[in-house]
Amino acid sequence: MSKKSVLYIIITALCFGTMEVALKIGGSTFTALQMNFLRFLIGGLLLLPLALKELKRRQITLTMGDWGYMTLLGVLGISFSMSFFQIGVMYLNANTAAIIISCNPVFTMLFAHFLVHDRFTSDKATVLCICLVGLLFVANPFHMAAGNTPKGFLYMLIAMVSFALYSSLGNIRAKRLGGAIQTCIPFLIASAVNLLILILLKEPIFSGISIKSAPVLLYIGFIVTGLGYYTYLGAIEMVGPSNASISFFLKPVVAVVSAALILHEAVTWNIVLGIAIILAGFCINMKKR
């Protein structure tokens, strides 16, 4: 891999690895659904120039099928999955939430078997089982850590599995549309859906935005969502999705360290052991590819 691709992977891991910490801080000012709306609106607007440039370069005329496909991606991956993710973060420690969501590439393999004909082999089933064991250690259901709740685990598991489905669906038209288009437009479509949900539920939309809350909101929107997705897409373009997914292997480590330093969350033995088991599964997965 080139130095540039390695840099992109590291930046992605740093952006995504600090996501749960930033969202917990932002959650003290904004509601979960409001935060989901604001961060993907900001991220979508940031990626818009790149998407427009890509449309021009590829000379693509978007069809009704393209719009329907990207609407499905936006509703599933952002309006549904990331809403559960944001709510789950509020009921879990940041380090636990990060570890659970980082397992989504493993479940993506299962969905890819049915959606894009990427066969789910016995080796992949072994990796899936290893990661599930790691998740059990992280959850530690018989002695749950302070800050973690069963509700939080349920919401985060729904978010993780649905995001894996979103990732699998994203492979269907990736070669035609490209990463920037397929990320930006679903972001903006989902933002419109999320806005409608906020209106129907009579939840706040822009209230809470102030000089005090602006830094964390801008960090979440521009750095975590905008820059994070930009460098992730750039890494995929340079070295492919398999190598780019290394960023998800690094994310739990970054999340545990940042949560300990900023939120003073305890780094317990089961968290360390769970991460080690999950990383072992990831390494086996990479070796088998």
List, as one string, the DSSP characters of 167-214.
HHHTTSSHHHH-HHHHHHHHHHHHHHHHHHHHHHTT--SSTT-STTTH
Tokens of 243: 């190598």
Q: What is the pLDDT of residue 289?
A: 53
Q: What is the pLDDT of residue 84?
A: 95
Q: What is the pLDDT of residue 175?
A: 76
CB 189 within 8 A of CB 74: yes
Alpha helices in 116-178 (DSSP H): 122-139, 150-169, 174-177
User: CA-to-CA distance for 201 and 118, rounded, in angstroms?
Assistant: 40
User: CA-to-CA distance for 63 and 67, rounded, in angstroms?
Assistant: 6
Tokens of 18: 């600090």
Quote the number of domains for the chain.
Answer: 1
Q: What is the pLDDT of residue 242?
A: 59
Q: What is the pLDDT of residue 148?
A: 85
DSSP type of residue 217: H
CA-nearest of 118, 112, 102 to 246 is 102
Domain extent, residue 268, equals 3-288
DSSP type of residue 141: T
Tokens of 43: 């991220």
Q: What is the pLDDT of residue 146?
A: 78
CB 190 within 8 A of CB 75: yes
User: CA-to-CA distance for 168 and 150, rounded, in angstroms?
Assistant: 27
Tokens of 115: 């959606």
Residue 28 in 3-state DSSP? coil
Q: What is the pLDDT of residue 116?
A: 64
Q: What is the 3-state secondary structure (H, E, C) of 195-208?
A: HHHHHHCCCCCCCC
Single-letter residue type at 104: N
pLDDT digits (tens), the chain, 289 positions: 678 888 988 898 899 889 999 998 888 889 999 999 999 999 999 889 989 998 998 888 899 999 999 999 999 999 999 999 999 999 998 888 888 888 877 777 777 777 766 676 777 677 778 877 887 777 776 677 778 899 999 999 999 999 888 877 877 777 788 778 888 999 999 999 999 999 999 999 998 898 988 999 999 998 998 888 788 877 776 776 656 777 877 888 888 889 989 988 888 888 888 888 877 876 776 665 5
Measured CA angle at 279 (ends 276, 280), to 5 deg: 85
Q: What is the pLDDT of residue 6?
A: 83
Q: What is the pLDDT of residue 241?
A: 60
CB 170 within 8 A of CB 178: no
